[in-house]
Amino acid sequence: MTDSALDQQCVATVRMLAAEAVEQANSGHPGMPLGAAPMAWALWSRFLRHDPAGPRWPGRDRFILSAGHGSALLYALLHLTGYELPLEELKNFRQWGSRTPGHPEYGHTPGVEATTGPLGQGFSMGVGMALAERMLAQEFNRPGHDVIDHHIYAIVSDGDLMEGVASEAASLAGHLNLGKLVYLYDDNRITIEGGTELAFTEDVSLRFAAYGWQVLRVHDGEDVEVIAAAIAEARADGARPSLIMVRTVIGQGSSKAGTSHVHGAPLGREELLAMRRRLGWSDEPFHIPEAVGAHTRQALTRGAEQRREWEGRLAAYRQDHPAEGARLEARLKGEFLPAGWDAALLALDFGGKATATRVASGKALNALAPAVEGLVGGSADLAPSNNTWLTTVAAGRNLRFGVREHAMAAMVNGMALHGGFLPYCATFLVFSDYMRGAMRLSAIMGTPVVYVLTHDSIAVGEDGPTHQPIEHLASLRAMPELRVIRPADAGETVGAWHVALTHAGPTCLILSRQNLAPLGADPLRVAQGAYVVSDPPMGDPELILLATGSEVELAMKSQQALALKGRRARVVSMPCWELFDEQSVEYRESVLPPSIKARVGIEAGASLGWHRWVGEGGVILALDRFGASAPGGEVMKRLGFSVENVVAQAEALLNR
Amino acid sequence: MTDSALDQQCVATVRMLAAEAVEQANSGHPGMPLGAAPMAWALWSRFLRHDPAGPRWPGRDRFILSAGHGSALLYALLHLTGYELPLEELKNFRQWGSRTPGHPEYGHTPGVEATTGPLGQGFSMGVGMALAERMLAQEFNRPGHDVIDHHIYAIVSDGDLMEGVASEAASLAGHLNLGKLVYLYDDNRITIEGGTELAFTEDVSLRFAAYGWQVLRVHDGEDVEVIAAAIAEARADGARPSLIMVRTVIGQGSSKAGTSHVHGAPLGREELLAMRRRLGWSDEPFHIPEAVGAHTRQALTRGAEQRREWEGRLAAYRQDHPAEGARLEARLKGEFLPAGWDAALLALDFGGKATATRVASGKALNALAPAVEGLVGGSADLAPSNNTWLTTVAAGRNLRFGVREHAMAAMVNGMALHGGFLPYCATFLVFSDYMRGAMRLSAIMGTPVVYVLTHDSIAVGEDGPTHQPIEHLASLRAMPELRVIRPADAGETVGAWHVALTHAGPTCLILSRQNLAPLGADPLRVAQGAYVVSDPPMGDPELILLATGSEVELAMKSQQALALKGRRARVVSMPCWELFDEQSVEYRESVLPPSIKARVGIEAGASLGWHRWVGEGGVILALDRFGASAPGGEVMKRLGFSVENVVAQAEALLNR
């Protein structure tokens, strides 16, 4: 068989495997795999440096299927090239317990570099990966030692390019000259509702040129060689990211090719049979021609070689640069916290002064950064307000995302997935709304990223309702696998950073704009989620004031005012509901004894979720309305967050 | 005084008023008003058709300050041109109870057309307004009767242009050839963190050309005449939206001009004094030169004339086209529901068959559309799945947003603000995450828009965790002023649409992908938020099964299974928590009698919020984890949503 004929056979095999998996599941998206198989094959057979037998080596190229609905394409390639993904898994496509879920899931299937499906996310995570590659290379490469040198590839779709998150990331990728980024655009002119002329007629090529990308075109998406030549040209430009616009036909090879009907539904048995006939294919389901199997599995030997070659490069680097080599290896292994990493953090002294938790967070970050070398991050153009700028280390560890919250969050996901970095990012809490799509992927994938979310309540003040979060605490707490920590003072902020950096998943730090009085508690008690800050000096408590963040100070003052009236209140700080949930029943009942029914929950945010803590005998002082523009202290008082009101509510409870 | 000198005095007055308001409040953003005053003045003095004494006439041009942090600029213009905004209000800038909040708030200050501040939203709402203008013109204008013919203007900033939502909206505006859109870009090259070279170096002009916009440049943002000429040129192109890039200097006239320091903090008394001296300004605070006051208030006579002229046009139209004229006037007044509007809706008959609520919703929409002529909308490329396509009316009432959820939501806000339409939009519930920024503005402004959010739980099935909502119900319920309705069958879906269209604010309809058995209840009971669907045939209930949406069917089946075991369960459907909250205590206690402590809350979503309804004696069958890819029915069962599990939990409760 000629090389070209073998290529055609490989492409056909990918197509048939994907179509059959969808058929077997009676669910899925055949159109994209059928159309994009040649470009995927061109990339995987000619360029992608990967080792199916050892898929996690840091020197590998990264491949992202941003158009995640085409998962069957990726699973076919993974199986054919020898990943731990038996044919049985393709037959179990989209079934309970299989490794072949409907959309690719990171951590679930070997060789899947990112969870994709929500459009635009894969595109943007790739930009984060390319940034991580560049930053690692700049930090560690030495003359004669290009130990970090790999590419980030993706297949992206019309849908990806329409999403705002991808526009933001593309603009930033161009700004940052991320030349290692090579994206193949599956330009099939079809969306779910019909042709792209219905809603997508912009000049994509011109737009990406405006961002500073190299834009290349392949007019025939069936031509593996021409696609390969374009990829080579893209790689040759090290100064600009590249978008290769590959004109394809969705559902190529089926009779519904070129229509939206082939996007998201199985082809049907008959159509599949017809395709088999046209290709001269065996009737055996999930058939893989022998020559194809042998050829595609060369990825194993090629990949093993590439991996060994890179390991050799790493060894040579370690020999010539032992200190850097050791640091690099630790970073690549995800070992970010050397012995004593938290010494400077825990030694922070705020002099007993009232401090905004955003300011305390800035100090914590700067105390951490010298020891935690992988810690990098930045803000969506709010660094001076978010207090996220690192001054204690090289300026290059600060990232500037511009006013692009969604791309920022997706990019830190990409950086965390890439490895070598423990990234954080920042904006106002209210604008977490702009990046929830990416935050959800942090939670699903378990990426260890830190979201620094400041200006956390109506106490923001003058900026008014558009800038005052209300529902955000509740809506973030509702998300599984996401830790939400709202520290009550500088000390708890230190504890919150400690907890965040030792957690193998995403954490939100919810921080105040305004100064908060110190509680004097052990910062590490944050790890318990909630704890008793203060009990009445004499006698057992008859009432519990539960609060988070800035409202703990209000609870403390209210406790004193109540004491003057002979009322015995306990103050509980609840910085993190998720962590409190993880404690033993004994501990939880020691903090919130079932016998004390009189409870006041205090939080300047939505009441949703608080009934759980205050029970039927308690009251909630919260906000189920939007805020207002006025000085922060005044807004707080006007909306009920005053000692007078807490005392009144507590007394009413006790007298009930 | 020459015209030009008078212009300069007017611009200086706007600048001084804005700077003094910020100074007085000791809070706010002086930089933008100082830099953008000339372009704002050029627009407001030469082009903007508006009547300060009657700001709501439908024929007016719309002006949006997308860079809402420059609110002081807008307030200065509103005061000077004679709106109901006394100077006292400028002196009370950003204070409790003033009409001059930190960011412009629609409905709060006369002449403010949209709430802005969250960047990109104003830009995108303007696109929605321009679409509304175009659709109304196409529907109602007749030869010789251009009764609908006005422009949408905005001032937009670097931050607006960086946001993905604006990119999406810009692409769509170009696609739709919205020639009435004229945006002035305050191109000051400064963001909060510093110069735009830090993170924003794309070629904006080329990018907007790629979207199909006319791009014009003004090199000197101080030159009112040149800016005016550019606006005239922009207006002359009726086929393309226009972006006028006006090079400005942030904080112009202050000594910190051209730096980020002047963006978001008062100038300081000394600096203000120096500015006064440079301008030869009076020392009197909030000084308005007499000639300026007289000149700017000409807007009142000009505006009254323009309004009369338009009212004359409308009268002539009504004379020549009485039927259309009456319909148009009703629409412009927001009278969307003629007598009998709901007859076809309430007559819908689903034949007692199990029906997906998304399908029922599609039928409801199509039953409503002929009578409710202002009802228009569409989906972010998921119309076939969201069932949002209108077939019973002209195809032009269907909108195609492409895969652009965020711009879609912002645009329907803009359409609702513009008037003449009752818009809806649609995507999968899980992707509401992509548009929360705009949904929050719906809630803050109270725009009557309907969000059709289908595929509402893990029952989505094969598409897996990225497409299965978990936390979304809770996170939407947490948002103030937003109604979230999750109907349990086709009948409740009819009721949900009824409630949504009669509500003066935003509503989310949360709909199932899968078929649901009919409950046989009166559809309009949805308006009560929750109600008893079924009580045990004999004896008082000893247990309540509370559920929403698809889980009501599960509750019904569990009730029967429990009956076989001699257990008497009541089934309560809770389609809308917000509406239930609005009912009387008596009604609420009739549905959930305090005496029945044994309660099982059932919802395939996050548990957050459910403790409130089940109390300390109840249990919650919910999901505080992500889903999985497999057929929907199997995922439901595996994750506990089975009759067996509900019965087991109920019995455990009763035996406790």
pLDDT, tens digit (0-9, with 9 covering 90-100), for B257-269: 999 899 999 999 9
Give the per-residue pLDDT at B31: 95
Give the per-residue pLDDT at B3: 85
Roughly how many angstroms between the first and final C-alpha of chain B, as a whole number? 89
| CA B515 to centroid of chain Cα atoms | 30
> Scanning every residue of chain A, which has its alpha carbon at the shortest distance from the alpha carbon of B102?
A463
By the 8 A CB rule, do B332 and B418 touch?
no
DSSP code per residue over B268-333? -HHHHHHHHHHHT--SSTT---HHHHHHHTHHHHHHHHHHHHHHHHHHHHHHHSHHHHHHHHHHHT
β-pair partners for A190:
A195
Largest interatomic CA distance in chain B = 94
Nearest CA to A366 out of A357, A356, A375 is that of: A375
Give the per-residue pLDDT at A288: 97
What mean pLDDT comes out for the span B596-615? 98
With an 8 Å Cβ cutoff, is A433 touching chain B? yes
Interface confidence (ipTM) of the complex: 0.98
Q: Computed from CA positions of residues B342, B343, B344, B349, in that sequence, does the dihedral angle turn out positive or negative?
A: positive
With an 8 Å Cβ cutoff, is B211 touching chain A? yes
Categorize the per-residue pLDDT at B646 as very low, low, confident or very high, splitting at 50, 70 and 90.
Answer: very high
With an 8 Å Cβ cutoff, is B349 touching chain A? no
With an 8 Å Cβ cutoff, is A440 touching chain B? yes
What mean pLDDT comes out for the span A38-66? 97
Neighbours of B199 (CB within 10 A): 25
What mean pLDDT comes out for the span B423-442? 98
At A8, the amino acid letter reads: Q
With an 8 Å Cβ cutoff, is B589 touching chain A? no
Partners of A403 on chain B (C-beta within 8 Å) are: 119, 158-159, 162-163, 191
DSSP state of B401: -
Give the per-residue pLDDT at B309: 98
pLDDT value at A1 more than 80? no
pLDDT, tens digit (0-9, with 9 covering 90-100), for B100-123: 999 999 999 999 999 999 999 999
Give the per-residue pLDDT at A305: 98
- A65's CB contacts (< 8 A; 6+ apart) are A71, A73, A74, A104, A116, A122, A154, A155
Nearest CA to A650 out of A541, A539, A525, A528 is that of: A541
pLDDT, tens digit (0-9, with 9 covering 90-100), for B331-354: 999 999 999 999 999 999 999 999
Neighbours of A565 (CB within 10 A): 10
3-state helix, strand, coil in chain A (%, to 5): 45, 15, 40
Burial class (CB in 10 A: 0-12, 13-18, 19+), B453: buried
pLDDT value at A3 more than 90? no
Q: How many CA atoms lie within 13 Å of B147's alpha carbon, on the beta-carbon side?
A: 28
**Structure-block tokens of residue B366:** 């199509």
By the 8 A CB rule, do B411 and B172 touch?
yes
Give the per-residue pLDDT at A346: 98
By the 8 A CB rule, do B342 and B498 touch?
yes
Categorize the per-residue pLDDT at B245 as very low, low, confident or very high, splitting at 50, 70 and 90.
Answer: very high
pLDDT, tens digit (0-9, with 9 covering 90-100), for A37-50: 999 999 999 999 99
Mutate which: A193, A196, A201, A215, vs B, most B CBs within 10 A: A193
> Scanning every residue of chain B, which has its alpha carbon at the shortest distance from the alpha carbon of A479?
B471
- B383's CB contacts (< 8 A; 6+ apart) are A192, A193, B389, B398, B400, B426
Give the per-residue pLDDT at B330: 98
Partner-chain contact A629 B467, CB within 8 Å: no
Give the per-residue pLDDT at A2: 84
pLDDT, tens digit (0-9, with 9 covering 90-100), for A514-549: 999 999 999 999 999 999 999 998 899 999 999 999
With an 8 Å Cβ cutoff, is B125 touching chain A? no
Partner-chain contact A433 B434, CB within 8 Å: no
- What is the rounded distance in angstroms from the CA atom of residue B221 to the CA atom of residue B581? 53
Q: What is the pTM of this model?
A: 0.98
Partners of B94 on chain A (C-beta within 8 Å) are: 462, 464, 629-631
pLDDT, tens digit (0-9, with 9 covering 90-100), for A367-411: 999 999 999 999 999 999 999 999 999 999 999 999 999 999 999
pLDDT value at A96 more than 90? yes
β-pair partners for A510:
A453
Mutate which: A24, A168, A207, A597, vs B, most B CBs within 10 A: A207
Partner-chain contact B384 A192, CB within 8 Å: yes
pLDDT value at A656 more than 90? no
Give the per-residue pLDDT at B217: 98
Partners of B463 on chain A (C-beta within 8 Å) are: 102-103, 117
For B:220-249, CB contacts with A below 8 A are: none
Give the per-residue pLDDT at B1: 74
Partner-chain contact A167 B168, CB within 8 Å: yes
With an 8 Å Cβ cutoff, is B609 touching chain A? yes
- What is the rounded distance in angstroms from the CA atom of residue A326 to the CA atom of residue A335? 11
| CA A443 to centroid of chain Cα atoms | 7
pLDDT, tens digit (0-9, with 9 covering 90-100), for B19-65: 999 999 999 999 999 999 999 999 999 999 999 999 999 999 999 99
- % of chain A beyond a pLDDT of 70: 100
Partners of B27 on chain A (C-beta within 8 Å) are: 461-462, 631
**Structure-block tokens of residue B411:** 């645009």
Domains of chain B in start order, with CATH, are 27-71+113-264+295-303 (3.40.50.970), 343-516 (3.40.50.970), 528-654 (3.40.50.920)
Catalytic residue among A163, A222, A373, A405, which? Answer: A405
DSSP state of B180: T
Neighbours of A309 (CB within 10 A): 12
Gap from B589 CA to chain A (nearest CA, Å):
14
Give the per-residue pLDDT at A642: 98
At A482, the amino acid letter reads: L
Give the per-residue pLDDT at B391: 98
Partner-chain contact A206 B206, CB within 8 Å: yes
A271 has catalytic annotation: no
Closest in B119, B162, B616 to A615, CB measured: B616
Catalytic residue among B105, B113, B405, B603, which? Answer: B405
What mean pLDDT comes out for the span A267-295? 94
Mutate which: B74, B433, B467, B620, vs A, most A CBs within 10 A: B433
- What is the rounded distance in angstroms from the CA atom of residue B99 to the CA atom of residue A371? 50
Q: Computed from CA positions of residues A81, A86, A91, A97, in that sequence, does the dihedral angle turn out positive or negative?
A: negative
Partners of A427 on chain B (C-beta within 8 Å) are: none
At A633, the amino acid letter reads: G
Q: Which residue spans within A188-340 are E strands per DSSP?
A: 190-191, 194-195, 214-218, 242-247
**Structure-block tokens of residue A572:** 């509980």
pLDDT, tens digit (0-9, with 9 covering 90-100), for A584-642: 999 999 999 999 999 999 999 999 999 999 999 999 999 999 999 999 999 999 999 99
- What is the rounded distance in angstroms from the CA atom of residue A236 to the CA atom of residue B161? 31
Give the per-residue pLDDT at B656: 85
Give the per-residue pLDDT at A502: 97
| Local structure of A268: helix, strand or coil | coil
Largest interatomic CA distance in chain A = 94
pLDDT value at B165 more than 80? yes
Nearest CA to A556 out of A529, A585, A516 is that of: A516
Of the candidate ranges B132-146, B188-202, B449-463, the one whose mean pLDDT is the lowest: B188-202
Q: What is the mean pLDDT of chain A?
A: 97
Per DSSP, helices labelled H in B108-256 are: 121-140, 158-162, 164-175, 204-211, 224-236
By the 8 A CB rule, do B192 and B31 touch?
no
pLDDT, tens digit (0-9, with 9 covering 90-100), for B509-551: 999 999 999 999 999 999 999 999 999 988 999 999 999 999 9
Partners of A174 on chain B (C-beta within 8 Å) are: 201-202
pLDDT, tens digit (0-9, with 9 covering 90-100), for B281-314: 998 999 999 999 999 999 999 999 999 999 999 9
Number of A–B residue contacts, CB under 8 Å: 340
Gap from B351 CA to chain A (nearest CA, Å):
28
